[in-house]
Amino acid sequence: MQVRAFAWPIAILLALVLQSTILERVAILGVKPDLVLLLTVYTALTRGPVVAMLIGYGAGMFQDALSGGVLADGAWAKAVCGMAVGVFRGSVFRDHLFTHVAVAMSATLVAEAAYYVLALAFGLTEVSLGRFLAVAALGAAYNGAVAPSAFWLLNRWLPGPKTHSP
């Protein structure tokens, strides 16, 4: 059995562990890079919308369980984001650094909007629109800054299609 067969589950586990430990220390105003979302975006660019939705929802459920918050709200947002990016993957030039940054930033805004709509619909939050926009913008900037490095590592480590040539 090859070690590569376990690469995707290990990548999800590693993203969850880093998200809940080390990245807590680099949070800016409570916002930190969302590695699970970046893994979902990478999956959407390389595998398409269906696999990205499964990765986003599954990893998002684990992330929600670890956060102690409402279960499935973040998972739903990541699944929507994976589907949205995956649908448009044929329309973007996946080999360019700027594309990685732009897609990660856009995906973060989509995921944050999906989360906010869900939270409003079910009365899960009383966050003002201004606060939501500030957190979404900061999260998008943070994920955009981290995306090139994250995608480079995932290209090297995960089996299957790549976002750019080695």
**CATH number given to 3-157:** 1.10.1760.20
Res 165 pLDDT > 60: no
Domain boundaries, the chain: 3-157
Where does the pLDDT of residue 1 fall: very low under 50, low under 70, confident under 90, or very high at 90 and above? very low
List pLDDT tens digits, range 23-32.
989 999 889 9
d(CA 95, CA 90): 12
Identity at 131, one-letter amino acid code: R
Q: Residue 161 to residues 46, 47, 152, 158, 166: CA-CA distances in angstroms?
A: 5, 7, 13, 9, 11
**113 vs 73, more confident:** 113
Give pLDDT, residue 154.
Answer: 92
List pLDDT tens digits, range 101-143.
999 999 999 999 998 888 888 887 777 888 899 999 999 999 9
Give pLDDT, residue 164.
Answer: 56
Give pLDDT, residue 133.
Answer: 93
Res 81 pLDDT > 90: yes
Where does the pLDDT of residue 160 fall: very low under 50, low under 70, confident under 90, or very high at 90 and above? confident
Would the pTM of this model clear 0.85, i.e. be above it? yes
Could you tell me if 15 and 153 are in contact, meaning their C-beta atoms sit under 8 angstroms apart?
no
d(CA 46, CA 27): 28
Give pLDDT, residue 105.
Answer: 97
